[in-house]
């Protein structure tokens, strides 16, 4: 193919207008009985998105955090409440440390299309896409070169092999010490009599407050750190050594111990709860997130499936080019052609799975109806251009989503999964494609497209219970926040065609080969900044009617 393109590029021929169709859509309607078979493959990649207002943001930004904590991970909120109470730090927050994620999306889209000319003005179209998507993901938590916002909680030693028995035993000794001292003081309080010289009886209110505080503290230690008992398994994470949480908790142990020494002479010095010795690693973090969120493992995701199939028709409304290929090829001056079309885009693709936070869908999986119009302009024998407008109405459907409490938070627990009503925003597209025909074989094209999509709307209110058993209301409307989009793309391509030479009897096979590339140059509403390269092959044949190749005249054979 490279050799053929090079050869025809250096051999000049007579110049005729619009013999080679270029990249981009146009107003062409096939003659009655002609069939066009199209196979195209496109490769797209992106790792950035345009945020509301236009600035670029890494695709992985919402999967990364300077401080991965309870704001993103709902399952850490009970631990945060417990630690705030144990440490008596009401405004302190928990963090597993910084999380850094790299995320690149790659999509290979293969499309098989069939266009059939029923009459000289009516053409039917069917397009069947097949997509292969790859999410290239690398997750790192507490990277070595990251010094900001260090973790203040880490894996609980009571659950780490080789440390669990000793850690649980030390935690249990503290809990037992707290409870034993409380039982001793409480027994003495219950036996207080008038005139008693027991220091416990001298200030009963203070002694009872100490007992209640110690018992609550012991319960919190057992529930958070774990003692190995069936009724107090502990949390997956505990404060890091030397963290503010751990220092305050150790200080409370010492304070309560000193208070009991005022009543019990031989109370002794107590153990302290075993802190985390190291922050969570990337492997531990991905395992924890996968298990607690009930999602697929965090990493490479690959899938293949049908996209959204399109079925439609196109009608030629006006054609000043001429009624046959020869007339069109020899066109001088200005000409115009106008066509209108409509199609249905069927819900045959697959949405991203709610149990895989890095999955990329193969379509909207929702029925759309699109109306479009195309106008072709010919300027002399070498230049022609197309202007296309499209408007798509996207219908309401019901789909399963996990509903977050913070917009665009990807870390959503399984219990938030609900079937919601979805109404994707209608879209408007405007496209312009100027083309320059070099000779009977080659044409160069440029392409510009503007796309605007309205805000998506999700509806549904659901009442359920969170993991702690508390009632919670889920509002699906949060899924549609900041989904109104605009995007501009530019691109171009080169087309090799044998259609004109086939008409002249100089080629045996009527076909077109296109190589094109386009990319996003601006956008809003988290539209991806895409780079797409596409190869397309079109082959023409006749299903019924007169032969495709016109009879060769003496004039044509002499050219």
548 and 412 in a common domain = yes
271 and 124 in a common domain = no
404 and 274 in a common domain = no
Average pLDDT over residues 131-136: 97
Pair of tokens at residue 543: 């299903």
- Asked if the model's pLDDT at residue 555 lies above 70, the reply is no
For the stretch 26-50, what's the b/e string if a residue is b when 16 or more beta carbons lie within 10 angstroms of its beta carbon?
A: bbbbbbbbbbbebebebebbbbbbb
Predicted confidence at residue 238, as pLDDT, reads 97
Domains held by the chain: number: 2
Other beta carbons within 10 Å of 153: 28
292 and 267 in a common domain = no
> What is the pTM assigned to this prediction?
0.86
- Asked if the model's pLDDT at residue 528 lies above 80, the reply is yes
263: helix, strand or coil: coil
Which of 278, 310, 336 is the last residue in one of the domains? Answer: 278
CATH of the domain at 469: 2.40.160.40
Predicted confidence at residue 217, as pLDDT, reads 97
Other beta carbons within 10 Å of 385: 19
193 and 300 in a common domain = no
With bands split at pLDDT 50, 70 and 90, how would you rate the model's confidence at 332? Answer: low
% of the chain residues with pLDDT over 90 = 78
339 and 253 in a common domain = no
182-230 pLDDT, tens per residue?
999 999 999 988 778 888 988 899 999 999 999 999 999 999 999 987 6
With bands split at pLDDT 50, 70 and 90, how would you rate the model's confidence at 19? Answer: low
121 and 157 in a common domain = no
- Asked if the model's pLDDT at residue 15 lies above 80, the reply is no
State the residue range of the domain holding 84: 2-148+286-558
C-alpha distances out from residue 61 to 1, 46, 50, 213, 302, Å = 42, 13, 12, 43, 21
352 and 294 in a common domain = yes
Average pLDDT over residues 29-42: 95
337 and 240 in a common domain = no
- Beta-bridged to residue 483, according to DSSP, are none
496: helix, strand or coil: strand
Which of 278, 301, 331 is the last residue in one of the domains? Answer: 278
The H-assigned helical ranges of 319-393 are 325-329
516 and 503 in a common domain = yes
496 and 472 in a common domain = yes
- Beta-bridged to residue 370, according to DSSP, are 343, 392
DSSP per-residue codes, 438-475? -SSSEEEEEEEEEEEEPPPEEE-EEEEE-TTS-EEEEE
292 and 437 in a common domain = yes
Which of 278, 298, 323 is the last residue in one of the domains? Answer: 278
> What is the average pLDDT score of the chain?
90
Predicted confidence at residue 445, as pLDDT, reads 95
Please give the span between the terminal C-alpha atoms of the chain, in angstroms, as a whole number: 25
- Asked if the model's pLDDT at residue 17 lies above 80, the reply is no
Predicted confidence at residue 144, as pLDDT, reads 82
281-320 pLDDT, tens per residue?
999 999 999 999 999 999 999 999 999 999 999 999 998 8
- Per the CB < 8 A criterion, the answer to whether 421 and 399 are in contact is no
């Amino acid at each position: 193919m490279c050799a053929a393109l090079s050869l025809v590029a250096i051999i000049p021929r007579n110049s005729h207008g619009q013999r080679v169709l270029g990249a981009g859509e146009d107003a062409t309607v096939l003659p009655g009985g002609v069939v066009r078979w199209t196979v195209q493959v496109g490769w797209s990649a992106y790792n950035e998105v345009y945020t509301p207002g236009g600035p670029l943001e890494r695709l992985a930004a919402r999967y990364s955090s300077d401080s991965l904590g309870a704001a993103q991970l709902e399952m850490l909120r009970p631990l945060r409440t417990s630690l705030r109470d144990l440490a008596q730090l009401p405004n302190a927050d928990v963090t597993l440390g910084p999380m850094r994620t790299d995320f690149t999306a790659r999509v290979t889209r293969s499309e098989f299309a069939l266009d059939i000319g029923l009459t000289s003005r009516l053409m039917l179209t069917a397009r069947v896409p097949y997509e292969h998507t790859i999410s290239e993901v690398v997750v790192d938590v507490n990277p070595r070169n990251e010094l900001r916002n260090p973790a203040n909680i880490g894996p609980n030693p009571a659950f780490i092999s080789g440390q669990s028995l000793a850690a649980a035993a030390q935690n249990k000794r503290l809990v037992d010490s707290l409870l034993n001292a409380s039982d001793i003081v409480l027994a003495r309080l219950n036996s207080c009599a008038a005139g008693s010289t027991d220091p416990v009886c001298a200030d009963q209110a203070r002694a009872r407050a100490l007992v209640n505080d110690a018992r609550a503290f012991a319960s919190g230690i057992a529930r958070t750190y774990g003692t190995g008992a069936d009724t107090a398994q502990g949390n997956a994470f505990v404060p890091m050594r030397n963290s503010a949480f751990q220092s305050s908790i150790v200080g409370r142990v010492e304070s309560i111990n000193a208070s009991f020494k005022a009543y019990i002479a031989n109370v002794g010095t107590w153990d302290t709860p075993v802190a985390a010795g190291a922050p969570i690693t990337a492997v531990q973090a991905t395992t924890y997130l996968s298990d607690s969120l009930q999602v697929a493992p965090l990493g490479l995701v690959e899938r293949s499936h049908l996209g959204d199939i399109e079925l439609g028709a196109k009608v030629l409304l006006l054609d000043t080019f001429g009624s046959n290929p020869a007339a069109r090829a020899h066109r001088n001056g200005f000409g115009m052609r106008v066509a209108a079309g409509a199609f249905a885009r069927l819900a045959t693709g697959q949405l991203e799975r709610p149990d895989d936070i890095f999955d990329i869908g193969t379509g909207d999986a929702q029925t759309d109806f699109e109306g479009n119009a195309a106008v072709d302009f010919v300027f002399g024998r070498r230049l022609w251009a197309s202007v296309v407008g499209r408007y798509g109405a996207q219908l309401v459907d019901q789909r399963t989503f996990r509903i977050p409490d913070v917009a665009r938070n990807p870390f959503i627990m399984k219990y938030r999964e609900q079937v919601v009503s979805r109404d994707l925003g209608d879209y408007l597209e405007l496209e312009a494609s100027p083309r320059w025909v070099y000779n009977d074989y080659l044409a160069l094209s440029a392409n510009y497209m503007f796309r605007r999509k309205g805000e998506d709307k999700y509806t549904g209110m659901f009442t359920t219970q969170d993991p702690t058993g508390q009632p919670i209301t889920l509002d699906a409307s949060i899924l549609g926040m900041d989904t109104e989009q605009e995007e501009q793309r530019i691109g171009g391509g080169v087309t090799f065609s044998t259609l004109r030479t086939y008409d002249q009897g100089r080629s045996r096979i009527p076909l077109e080969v296109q190589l094109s590339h386009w990319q996003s140059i601006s956008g809003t509403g988290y539209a991806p900044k895409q780079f797409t390269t596409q190869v397309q092959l079109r082959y023409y044949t006749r299903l019924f009617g007169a032969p495709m190749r016109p009879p060769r005249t003496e004039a044509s054979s002499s050219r």
